A and B are shown apart, each in its own frame.
Chain A
Amino acid sequence: GESVGLHLPTLSVQEGDNSIINCAYSNSASDYFIWYKQESGKGPQFIIDIRSNMDKRQGQRVTVLLNKTVKHLSLQIAATQPGDSAVYFCAENPQGNQGGKLIFGQGTELSVKP
């Protein structure tokens, strides 16, 4: 079916710690996954993406891991900062999608304690 879900709706971490946000997807045909960050009162902002031919991709302070066997992906944020406080969404682009349709998960709210 079309669903991308998250294990935890909220996550609270101490400033400087690493954060891990998890996401499960159900469509085994999906071949492209994206993480977005949405700060309060703003639109979602692209963070990083990964294709199904990879299992890991790194950006600046962020790493996305993809486990196709269990249909799970995660976003790791190193040295979490107060500015990282936001809602994080994983999104799925189903294979063969020609219409630009992204399927978003529920979202995890990350709260960073100073």
Chain B
Amino acid sequence: DTAVSQTPKYLVTQMGNDKSIKCEQNLGHDTMYWYKQDSKKFLKIMFSYNNKELIINETVPNRFSPKSPDKAHLNLHINSLELGDSAVYFCASSQLLNTGELFFGEGSRLTVL
């Protein structure tokens, strides 16, 4: 069983479209995250949630809207996609909020044309 699973793994879409990436973790963790990795492999946090509550919104444009329907899920919806949104998006979870041990999913590669 995959601990942190994301779908879809690949997403190719046109500028201006709206898309969603889903994430589920079966580790029983309370905290979930979204990270963005650019073409130079630089990883940057976007959001963190703890017990379904938003903790961090790292100056992400409001076109990005995370939603946590329950502790095991954290989905990412992106409106009006732009070329610069092309990246690999990683979902992660952790047992505690302030730990360095995150469990990452395999990533969702988004390409905006």
Contacts and interface: CB of A to CB of B under 8 A. Distances in A.
B101 A100 contact: no
A99 interface: yes
A42 B97 CA distance: 23
Contacts of A100: 31, 33, 48, 50, 55-56, 94, 97-99
Interface residues of B, number: 28
Contacts of B102: 44, 46, 102
A18 interface: no
B66 interface: no
Contact of B101 (A46, A97, A101): A46
B44 interface: yes
Nearest to A32: B100
A49 B101 contact: yes
A110 interface: no
Please tell me the size bucket of the interface on A.
20 to 34
A102 B40 CA distance: 18
Interface string B32-52: 010000001111110010100
Interface string B91-106: 0101001111111111
Interface string B17-33: 00000000000000101
A52 interface: no
Nearest to A97: B98
A59 interface: no
A114 interface: no
8 contacts: A42-B106, A46-B103, A98-B97, A99-B97, A101-B56, A101-B58, A104-B42, A107-B43
Given A99-B97, A101-B45, A107-B42, 15 more contacts: A34-B100, A42-B106, A42-B107, A46-B101, A46-B103, A87-B41, A99-B55, A99-B56, A100-B55, A100-B94, A100-B99, A101-B48, A101-B58, A106-B41, A106-B42
